[in-house]
Each structure stands twice: as C-alpha cells, then as structure tokens.
Amino acid sequence: MSDKVLEVLQALEEAFNFWVIQLSAADGDLKKNVPAATVENPLQELVKIIKLIKAHTTKVGIIYEPSKLLKLGDALFTTVSDLLRSFVVFMSALAQISPKETSNLFYDEIKSTALNLVQSATSFSKELKTLYEEVSREKDSQNNDKDAKSEVDSRLVSVGKIWNICDEFIKLVEGGKLKVLEKKTRMHLSLIEDGLDEFAEWAENPEDMDDDDPFGLDDEFSDEEEDDGEKPPVSDDENEEVTEQISEDRQELVQYSKLWLQKFKLVKLLFLSINKSLTSVTSGESIDLIFLTEAVIAREIDTLIVELMLNQTLDDVVEKHASAIDKACFKIIAILRDLNKKSDAKVKWCTSWETKYKEFLKDMYK
C-alpha cells in the first residue's frame, strides 16, 4: 500500500508543477498543452468544479491526520486520486475559456487566481508526501505523537489557504467580466482623484505654492541653482514689462487649470457611468478597449497635472497630454454610444456629455 500511496502523491505533485508552468507561461494559451473541455458553459463548470475541489481538499486534510495515517488503507489513495481528478477537470474547463469572449481583462484575473490555487495545492501535495514518508518511517508511536502537532498545523493551514482561494475564485467568476471592469474603473478613478485636491488648491493661486516644492525637487537642484555672481542690472521699464508678461501668463495658466478642473468633473462622471451603460452581453473586445482607454486617461491626467504645477507653462508638452485626454474620453463615449444604440435614453446621455465637454474645449482654445 505504501508504494501505491507514494505513487499517487508523487503524481499529484508532478501534475501541479506542470500546471503551474502552464499558468505562468507568457503566451497564456493553455490549449497548447492542456486538453480543453467542450462543455456548454465553461465558467459555470468552473464554479461546480471549484466546489468539488474544496470538498476533496477537506477530505484529504481529514484522512491525512498523522495519528491515524497508517490505519486508513485505501482511503489514503482514493481521496488523493479524487482530488487529482477534480484538478484535471478544472484545468480542462479553464483551457476552454476564450479571452476574446470573456475579455483579456477577465481571463487574466481568472488565470491569476487559478495560478494561486494551483501553487497552494502544490505546497499542500508536498506536505502530504513529506508527512506520509515521515509517519511511515516512525514506528514508535511516542515519536510520532511528538511530531504530529506541527504536521497537523501545517496541513490544516494549507487546507485553509485552498478554501480561501476557492471562495475567491467563485466570487470572481460569478461576478463576471463587468464586475472586474468595475473594480478596475474604480482603481483608475482613484488614481485620477489622488492629485485633484492639491491641483485645485494650486489652481486658485499658483503664486502661493511657488515655494512649496510639491514634488520634492528643491534638494536635488538647489546646488545647481546657486548664483556664481551678481546678476546684471535691469532697468525699471524692463522690470515692468517682465512683470506684466508674467501676470498675463499666470492669469492664462490659472484660467486654463480651472477649466481642466471642470473637465475632470466630467471625466469622473464618465467613469462612474461606464458600468451602468454596459450589459452582460458586452463583448470581451469592448471590455478590454474600455479598460485600456481608462488607463490612458488616468496616466495622461497625472502627467498633465505634474506638467502644469511644475513647469507652469502652457507649451506643446501640455497640449500633447491634454489632447490625449480629450481623444481618450471621446473614444470611451463613442464605445458607450455604439453599445447602447438601441437605448434612446443612453444615447441621449452620451450626446449630452459630449456636448458639455466640447463646450469646455471651445472655452479652452478660443
């Protein structure tokens, strides 16, 4: 019996090691090395199998109790075999999922959680094998009892980890691709909001923050900015002209920044409306496009704010980032309008948002 049990434990560990490699592969195509299932709904099938894995893991954890380990006979083999078979079916259903249908965003989340599960199961399989080998070697029950507590603790901790990941996986799959996009949208919105309060304060009066060094650059450049000698004298007329020009530039900068604060409110409104505008039949391609465009908007807004506060100049760099934000926002509104073309109310909302945004553009570039 001992050889038979060790063989199935070894097979379990080797299978997990193989699946970890497949799930970690850069190309992400499981079908190359894992036979894909042909079930009608692979996502629903995954939820069923995960519940089965959780049950089989529980049974294995109970059966491999050290003090009773050598008394249980065939159960040591059958429980591990059942666990292995459930993971085979799990990987097969996972290989059937098409990123084009579910979206790469959702698929990557599923695959990442599956990898965590298999990695935890790998550790569990190694612990079971080590436990079985050690208990088999120990014929003295006193010595066996002495080591039992640490083995039990380790075994049950692994079972608990697998349970938690199974619950996380079920929640992820049942939430669906729209729930994943909603989570990412909130993340992008949070990134946008992070710097808005300080930017709003700065936009009210940039002079008050000129010496505040909001980005911590004073120490880096202080030595380079020391004067080597006295500045050449400047006439009063020249001073007055420079002061007037600075005042005009500053006024233009403030006006421009305040317009962006208004536009940022519309951007936030757009982000908050995204998931309300989508349905479960939204294609994976549309989900991915929205997600990637959100990322562009969040990144460009952060860069624009830094440029305005740091350089305080309305130059080509500012215009480039501003234009990128505008284009990305119009791209999302176009996607939402197209996805909801059969809903007059949602199309009207998209048109209204776009009209309001363009009004700010006219004020900004008139």
Q: Do both 127 and 265 map to the same domain?
A: no
Q: What's the burial of 16, exposed, middle or buried (CB within 10 Å: 0-12/13-18/19+)?
A: buried
pLDDT value for 150: 52
Q: Do both 202 and 156 map to the same domain?
A: no
Q: Do both 267 and 351 map to the same domain?
A: yes
Q: Do both 87 and 144 map to the same domain?
A: yes
CATH (domain of 43): 1.20.1420.10
Q: Is residue 223 part of a domain?
A: no
Q: 338 vs 277, 278, 285, 288, 307, CA distance in Å?
A: 11, 11, 13, 15, 34
Q: 120 vs 5, 13, 162, 175, CA distance in Å?
A: 21, 11, 6, 23
Q: Do both 29 and 127 map to the same domain?
A: yes
Q: Is residue 219 part of a domain?
A: no
Q: Is residue 233 part of a domain?
A: no
Q: Are 290 and 105 in contact (CB under 8 A)?
A: no
Please give the Cα distance from 308 to 104 (Å, whole number): 35
Q: Are 285 and 303 in contact (CB under 8 A)?
A: no
Q: Is residue 189 part of a domain?
A: no
Q: Are 196 and 308 in contact (CB under 8 A)?
A: no
Q: Do both 157 and 48 map to the same domain?
A: yes
pLDDT value for 160: 95
Which one, of 123, 125, 143, 122, lies nearest residue 134 by Cα? Answer: 143
Q: Is residue 234 part of a domain?
A: no
pTM of the complete model: 0.85
Q: Do both 81 and 201 map to the same domain?
A: no
Helix ranges (H only) for the chain are: 2-24, 42-63, 75-96, 99-102, 104-137, 141-194, 196-204, 218-221, 236-274, 284-311, 316-339, 344-365
Q: Do both 21 and 168 map to the same domain?
A: yes
Q: What is the mean pLDDT of each run of 10 residues along the chain (366 residues)?
A: 86 96 84 92 97 97 85 88 98 94 95 97 94 76 51 78 98 97 97 92 78 52 49 51 62 93 97 94 96 98 95 94 98 97 95 96 79
pLDDT value for 156: 86
Q: Is residue 190 part of a domain?
A: no
Which one, of 175, 198, 169, lies nearest residue 310 by Cα? Answer: 198
**CA torsion angle for 125, 127, 130, 136 (degrees, to 10)?**
-90
Q: Is residue 228 part of a domain?
A: no
Which one, of 82, 98, 92, 8, lies nearest residue 46 by Cα? Answer: 92
Q: Do both 127 and 8 map to the same domain?
A: yes
Instruction: For residue 232, give both structure tokens.
Output: 């050449």
Residues 6+ apart with CB under 8 A from 262: 360
Q: Do both 30 and 81 map to the same domain?
A: yes
Please give the Cα distance from 275 to 315 (Å, whole number): 35
Q: Is residue 128 part of a domain?
A: yes
Ramachandran area for residue 89 (φ above 0: left; ψ -120 to 50: alpha; else beta): alpha
Q: Do both 154 and 268 map to the same domain?
A: no
pLDDT value for 363: 81
Please give the Cα distance from 248 to 152 (Å, whole number): 75
- Based on the structure, what is the number of domains in the chain? 2
Please give the Cα distance from 211 to 234 (Å, whole number): 24
Q: Do both 203 and 77 map to the same domain?
A: no
Query: Range of 271's domain?
Result: 195-214+239-365
pLDDT value for 222: 46
